[in-house]
Amino acid sequence: MTVTPSTTRAGRWPTLRPWLGVAARLGLAAVWLIAGGAKVGDLAASGRAVNAYQVMPYDLATVIGAALPFVELALGLLLLAGLATRVSAGVSAALLVVFVAGIASAWARGLAIDCGCFGSGGQLGAGEAPSYLPEILRDLGFLALAGFLLIWPRTPFSVDGWLAGDTVEDDDEQS
């Protein structure tokens, strides 16, 4: 068997990378669209969820909680379209770092809260146990998707690529 660049591990990366980028972009878009969509119908509950972290005054927490679903939906739409992907990935990464820090802070301070990531969140009832480690690991996985897109933002089937005149074949040559 003859080894050609396309059969080596390094040779497959240029072909695989654009499609991993599409998966990362669409996966992260789905996360933001689901998270924002779950909260946009009850902005007061979203504000209460942010306030449950006890890191800022109530009035500020409710404003941030009311704005957050719209930021998440905007990020989801931008990523879905592949428009301003690097910026969207950067904002996503920053938000995810804040979310991980908030969850870790709540855990370290012994708070019993639901993160509110995909719904109303807030204080847990008596006997309910928080699930901080899985939430942190999940958000770190989402952070990895955002990191991938920060490094390789142009993907097939994206407005960014279309505006740059990319084709799927051109994407194989990007780094």
pLDDT, tens digit, 9 for 90 and up, residues 145-154? 999 999 999 8
CA-CA-CA-CA torsion sign (129, 102, 32, 46): positive
pTM, rounded to two decimals: 0.85
Over residues 18-53, the pLDDT tens digits come to: 999 999 999 999 999 999 999 999 999 999 999 999
Task: Evaluate whether residue 7 is within a structural domain.
Answer: no
- Taking alpha carbons only, the member of 77, 144, 172 closest to residue 161 is 172
Does 159 have pLDDT greater than 70? yes
Number of domains in the chain: 1
Task: Evaluate whether residue 28 is within a structural domain.
Answer: yes
Count other Cβ atoms within 10 Å, centred on residue 67. 14
Could you give the angle at the alpha carbon of 95 between the alpha carbons of 94 and 97, nearest 5°?
65
Task: Evaluate whether residue 26 is within a structural domain.
Answer: yes
Cα pseudo-dihedral 58, 100, 22, 173, rounded to 10: 120
- d(C-alpha 79, C-alpha 49), whole Å: 25
Does 60 have pLDDT greater than 70? yes
Q: For the chain, what percent of residues have pLDDT higher than 90? A: 70
Task: Evaluate whether residue 166 is within a structural domain.
Answer: yes
Task: Evaluate whether residue 148 is within a structural domain.
Answer: yes
3 state DSSP class of 122: strand
Does 173 have pLDDT greater than 90? no
Task: Evaluate whether residue 11 is within a structural domain.
Answer: no
Task: Evaluate whether residue 140 is within a structural domain.
Answer: yes
Q: Which two tokens stand for residue 139?
A: 């958000």
Supply the pLDDT for residue 7: 54
Task: Evaluate whether residue 78 is within a structural domain.
Answer: yes
- 129 or 66, greater pLDDT: 66
- Residue 152 lies in domain: 16-170
